[in-house]
Structure 1
Amino acid sequence: MTDDDGQQELEAQFEQWRQYVLRRRELQPTDADELEDHLRGSVDELVARGLSPDEAFLVAVKRMGSLDELSREFAREHSERLWKQLVLTGDPSSPVAGTRSRRDLWAMLACAAGAVASVKVPALFGLGFDDDGSFYARNFALFALPWLAAFLAWRRGARRSVIVTLVALFVLGAVAANVYPLADDSQSIVVTSIHLPIALWLVVGLAYVADDWRSSRRRMDFIRFTGEWFIYLVLMGLGGGVLSAFLFNTFAAIGIAPEEFISQWLLPCGAAAAVVVAGWLVEAKQSVVENIAPVLTRLFTPLFTAALLAFLVAVVLTSHGIDVERETLILFDLLLVVVLGLLLYSLSARDPLAPPGPFDKLQLALVVSALAIDVLVLVEITGRITDDYGSTPNRAAALGENVILLVNLAWSAWLLLTFIRRRAPFAALERWQTGYLPVYAGWAWFVVLVFPPLFAYA
């Protein structure tokens, strides 16, 4: 390798390191400049002592210590930043940032208003919440997610081809949700209500990555966005519950019953608007919650690992099979999705340059436990289908989802094991997870579009 090649590779490593540093939202670009200057000085010193550029870079990064600790040091020195990020939507000292923040705010308000209007438009055609609950169950994601996608596409400056694709996919979702003649007690309504939001959320992901949809890094950013969006949405949901209880009790104290206002306006309109507002908060507040989410993953990973292991031990000791009725299937699928979510978000928040540690081993135990439960569920579902019970939309959907999760978890476990044994880089696990996102999208769309006619709209 020539000196020029070595220098280019070193610069690529600096750029990769800088991009990772800038993911820590508590660190400003000026902080990254300061850290990079320090890192470059250390690398130059080590190269002068005879180390190769690659060796010098790795040693210098290790000497700098944990990025978490560096972030805490900067947070202590600049504690006012957190409050500015919570209250403001940009750097008030920057006219350009302030203008962009105001534009984002107005765009968010317009999209949130669009989501609220979308929820109430069906009422103009006689489709109230009490009159046709199945209609709202199938379509609720279509009321809010297109507006969130519109906000993200506008903010990213997406090209016309991306916008056309987004519109086409949302129209396809609307057709699939409403064109099939499904009875109110049809299993296909439940299947569609579960899978359509998944399919449409990945369409939102396309709006998020915009013109850079092939990039593994941008897909991982979308995974991080999803985790932060979910946390903001839950927080707003809790606040909305408190507000609803307050309104109900205060107005009831003076003889006014606000049930209709709360159930017909406050809750549905607030939920639709919150979907858009949560996305804006992730973007505008510079991921203030980013430091909370990794803490949650480290808290719940051991708890879920212990719960799954306890369940497996109980299965062995009691020799009881798993009930594969609809509610049970949904419960186990949600459990596996939660496990996958914990894995994904912890991957997105992890320092890719850090060596394997105890938490990585704990994650491996969690994935292996989930993998064992997935196998048990698959055995039970396959047995029910091959017996006299036959196949139903619920069982077929659960079978496909568990096969997809089985493949993901199995290869994730292998990659985690090889990483822990220092035989593969951490990046391989990231690439596997981000590359698997289209599989989820393809299956969700297949269930929504093909299952109803395949099972005669049962």
Structure 2
Amino acid sequence: MTTADDPDQLEVQFAQWRQYVRRRPELRRSDADELEDHLRGSVDELVATGLRPDEAFLIAVKRLGRLDDLSREFAREHSDRLWKQLVLTGGSDDPVVDERSRRDLVAMVVCALGAAVSIKLPELFGLRFDQDFAFYAPNLSLFALPWLAAFLAWRRRAGPTLIGALVALFTLGAVAANGYPLAADSQSYVLTNIHLPIALWIVVGLAYLADDLRSTRRRMDFIRFTGEWFVYFVLIALGGGVLIAFTVGTFQAIGIDAEDAVTQWVLPGGMVAAVVVAGWLVEAKQSVVENIAPILTRIFTPLFTAVLLVFLAVLVWTRAGIDVEREALILFDLLLVVVLGLLLYSISARDPLAPPGPFDKLQLALVVSALVIDVLVLAEITHRISEYGTTANKAAALGENVILLVNLAWSAWLMLGFVRRRNPFAALERWQTGYLPVYAVWAWIVVLVFPPLFQHL
């Protein structure tokens, strides 16, 4: 490039433009790259005529045309693209892209089969999926997530150092799931079942970020991937449930009991394979269904905000205390996690350059309501611990609520500044992506430190 007068500032402008373009559902990544190449060439030509880089960039963007108009024009010209992208192998006019799609499909099938085979291996040692729940519950994520990480690492061409780190972390997860003699009714056993999948999902995130581990944008992409993966997985699970019901029913109609075969083979194998298939779908079909999760976020944010505000109003009116027994702790923590998930996914799907609007104020109300509930729960937990002593459940809940309190408090502050036009939206984005390792560290602490620390509880 000849744009050397202020390359850093110019690259910032290109990065903002690229981020906006890649969020357009009408354009694939290859199309966005082509547009960027055209834009860079135009900037270079204008700089060569004597313009400053920032002036050249603005003029080049104007020449390119308004992006919304361009996207609509592009969609009209390629109206067949959406259904083509639903075909398993390709739909592109680029043979290189088609070949990569076929290779991704083969890699996904291999990893999905690997997950399905791995969950059957314990049967060689006499462990049955429908009987040995105490073994399968903590190990279930270990049969699926390493294969999803393998697919992502292969797709991103991860280096040997990262691959070694992934293997080491999944091995550590296997130790956490099987290395402690935990009773099935112990609190530590339940906590391991809840926190180990979280810890291992962050390991999957390392495979996803293999091409740029420190990038804020790539971390936000992983958050987006997580939301879309969940949507796909739920859809596959619902379809699988219907398939199983029809399979059992049709065979039963001819006098054959297929329930045992389905329970032993189709259900466990299909469940772990679906984890890999959902990840492949997110990677391969981004421009087709990636708008589902933002739509769900728009629907459920006002609903959750209303529920939390009503809950707080009733709590003040009745002056009732908050129950901090195990079921209630799990319920409140799940509620706070859902609120955080709504916040994270709305951030990942939002145009960072757009001005604050009514939905941002609604999210601020949601975060503040969740923050107040978190403070009340923390106060009750602290009181119970000081009066009756600690347990594994209460210690885990205390740590998780402190972590969520810090996140929600600073998020509320940043959102307030953004709504008042004092902070850029990028500050909130950087805070959330930078906070991800905190969740990973706490999840690993719970699965590795809590079992020996609370071995009698």
Tell me the equivalent position of 1:437: 436
> For residues 76 and 317 of structure 1, what CA distance do their matches in structure 2 show?
56
Please report how far the alpha carbon of residue 310 of structure 1 lies from its aligned counterpart in structure 2 after TM superposition.
1.1
Tell me the equivalent position of 1:197: 197
5+ long unaligned stretches in structure 1: none
Are positions 1:405 and 2:366 aligned together?
A: no
Distance 1:163-1:347 versus aligned 2 partners, 3 A rule: same
Q: Could you tell which deviates more after superposition, 190-199 or 253-262?
A: 253-262
Tell me the equivalent position of 1:240: 240
Q: Would you say the 8 A contact 2:107–2:151 is kept in 1? A: yes
Distance 1:444-1:39 versus aligned 2 partners, 3 A rule: same
> For residues 276 and 86 of structure 1, what CA distance do their matches in structure 2 show?
17
Please report how far the alpha carbon of residue 98 of structure 1 lies from its aligned counterpart in structure 2 after TM superposition.
1.6
Q: SS at 1:424's partner residue? A: coil
Tell me the equivalent position of 1:324: 324
Distance 1:229-1:287 versus aligned 2 partners, 3 A rule: farther
Are positions 1:187 and 2:187 aligned together?
A: yes
Tell me the equivalent position of 2:301: 301
Q: What are the equivalent positions in structure 2 for 1:214-253 lying under 5 Å apart?
A: 214-253=214-253
Please report how far the alpha carbon of residue 404 of structure 1 lies from its aligned counterpart in structure 2 after TM superposition.
0.3
Q: Supply the AA of the counterpart residue of 1:456.
A: Q
5+ long unaligned stretches in structure 2: none
TM-score (normalizing by structure 1): 0.91
Distance 1:19-1:337 versus aligned 2 partners, 3 A rule: same
Distance 1:378-1:54 versus aligned 2 partners, 3 A rule: farther
Q: Would you say the 8 A contact 1:181–1:457 is kept in 2? A: no
Cα displacement string for residues 228-276 of structure 1 (whole angstroms, at most 9, x for unaligned residues)? 1111101101101111111222222223222212222222111100000
Q: Could you tell which deviates more after superposition, 309-318 or 50-59?
A: 50-59
Tell me the equivalent position of 1:106: 106
Q: Would you say the 8 A contact 2:90–2:98 is kept in 1? A: yes
Please report how far the alpha carbon of residue 10 of structure 1 lies from its aligned counterpart in structure 2 after TM superposition.
3.4
Q: Supply the AA of the counterpart residue of 1:392.
A: T
Q: Could you tell which deviates more after superposition, 78-87 or 436-445?
A: 78-87
> For residues 70 and 367 of structure 1, what CA distance do their matches in structure 2 show?
36
Please report how far the alpha carbon of residue 398 of structure 1 lies from its aligned counterpart in structure 2 after TM superposition.
0.9
Please report how far the alpha carbon of residue 52 of structure 1 lies from its aligned counterpart in structure 2 after TM superposition.
10
Q: Would you say the 8 A contact 1:248–1:257 is kept in 2? A: yes
Please report how far the alpha carbon of residue 308 of structure 1 lies from its aligned counterpart in structure 2 after TM superposition.
1.0
> For residues 39 and 157 of structure 2, what CA distance do their matches in structure 1 show?
35
Tell me the equivalent position of 1:259: 259
Tell me the equivalent position of 2:144: 144
Tell me the equivalent position of 2:213: 213
Q: Could you tell which deviates more after superposition, 420-429 or 287-296?
A: 287-296
Please report how far the alpha carbon of residue 27 of structure 1 lies from its aligned counterpart in structure 2 after TM superposition.
0.7
TM-score (normalizing by structure 2): 0.91
Please report how far the alpha carbon of residue 457 of structure 1 lies from its aligned counterpart in structure 2 after TM superposition.
4.7
> For residues 367 and 59 of structure 2, what CA distance do their matches in structure 1 show?
30
Q: SS at 1:321's partner residue? A: coil
Please report how far the alpha carbon of residue 120 of structure 1 lies from its aligned counterpart in structure 2 after TM superposition.
0.8
Q: What are the equivalent positions in structure 2 for 1:352-391 lying under 5 Å apart?
A: 352-388=352-388, 390-391=389-390
Q: What are the equivalent positions in structure 2 for 1:147-158 lying under 5 Å apart?
A: 147-158=147-158
Tell me the equivalent position of 2:128: 128
Please report how far the alpha carbon of residue 147 of structure 1 lies from its aligned counterpart in structure 2 after TM superposition.
0.4
Distance 1:52-1:35 versus aligned 2 partners, 3 A rule: closer
Q: Would you say the 8 A contact 2:130–2:263 is kept in 1? A: no
Q: Would you say the 8 A contact 1:108–1:151 is kept in 2? A: yes
Are positions 1:18 and 2:22 aligned together?
A: no
Tell me the equivalent position of 1:165: 165
Tell me the equivalent position of 1:415: 414
Q: Would you say the 8 A contact 2:244–2:262 is kept in 1? A: yes
Cα displacement string for residues 407-450 of structure 1 (whole angstroms, at most 9, x for unaligned residues)? 00110010011111111111111110000000000000000000
Name the count of aligned residue pairs. 450
Tell me the equivalent position of 1:343: 343
Q: What are the equivalent positions in structure 2 for 1:439-454 lying under 5 Å apart?
A: 439-454=438-453
Please report how far the alpha carbon of residue 161 of structure 1 lies from its aligned counterpart in structure 2 after TM superposition.
0.3
Q: SS at 2:411's partner residue? A: helix
Distance 1:387-1:54 versus aligned 2 partners, 3 A rule: farther
Please report how far the alpha carbon of residue 15 of structure 1 lies from its aligned counterpart in structure 2 after TM superposition.
3.9
Distance 1:445-1:214 versus aligned 2 partners, 3 A rule: same
Please report how far the alpha carbon of residue 283 of structure 1 lies from its aligned counterpart in structure 2 after TM superposition.
1.0
Q: Supply the AA of the counterpart residue of 2:256.
A: I
Tell me the equivalent position of 1:86: 86
Please report how far the alpha carbon of residue 383 of structure 1 lies from its aligned counterpart in structure 2 after TM superposition.
1.5
Q: Would you say the 8 A contact 1:10–1:54 is kept in 2? A: no
Q: Would you say the 8 A contact 1:90–1:101 is kept in 2? A: yes
Please report how far the alpha carbon of residue 14 of structure 1 lies from its aligned counterpart in structure 2 after TM superposition.
2.6
Q: Would you say the 8 A contact 1:159–1:211 is kept in 2? A: no
Q: Would you say the 8 A contact 1:138–1:193 is kept in 2? A: yes
Please report how far the alpha carbon of residue 82 of structure 1 lies from its aligned counterpart in structure 2 after TM superposition.
0.9
Q: Would you say the 8 A contact 2:252–2:258 is kept in 1? A: yes
Please report how far the alpha carbon of residue 372 of structure 1 lies from its aligned counterpart in structure 2 after TM superposition.
1.1
Q: SS at 1:257's partner residue? A: coil
> For residues 59 and 414 of structure 1, what CA distance do their matches in structure 2 show?
37
Q: Would you say the 8 A contact 2:81–2:91 is kept in 1? A: no
> For residues 119 and 224 of structure 1, what CA distance do their matches in structure 2 show?
28
Q: Would you say the 8 A contact 1:26–1:81 is kept in 2? A: no
Q: Could you tell which deviates more after superposition, 6-15 or 374-383?
A: 6-15
RMSD over aligned CA atoms reads 2.8
Q: SS at 1:402's partner residue? A: helix
Please report how far the alpha carbon of residue 59 of structure 1 lies from its aligned counterpart in structure 2 after TM superposition.
12
Please report how far the alpha carbon of residue 6 of structure 1 lies from its aligned counterpart in structure 2 after TM superposition.
4.8
Q: SS at 1:202's partner residue? A: helix
Please report how far the alpha carbon of residue 330 of structure 1 lies from its aligned counterpart in structure 2 after TM superposition.
1.1
Q: Supply the AA of the counterpart residue of 1:429.
A: L
Q: SS at 2:75's partner residue? A: helix
Q: SS at 1:212's partner residue? A: coil
Report % sequence identity: 70
Cα displacement string for residues 120-156 of structure 1 (whole angstroms, at most 9, x for unaligned residues)? 1111111112432111110000000000000110111
> For residues 7 and 99 of structure 1, what CA distance do their matches in structure 2 show?
35
Q: SS at 1:252's partner residue? A: helix
Q: SS at 1:387's partner residue? A: helix
Tell me the equivalent position of 1:285: 285
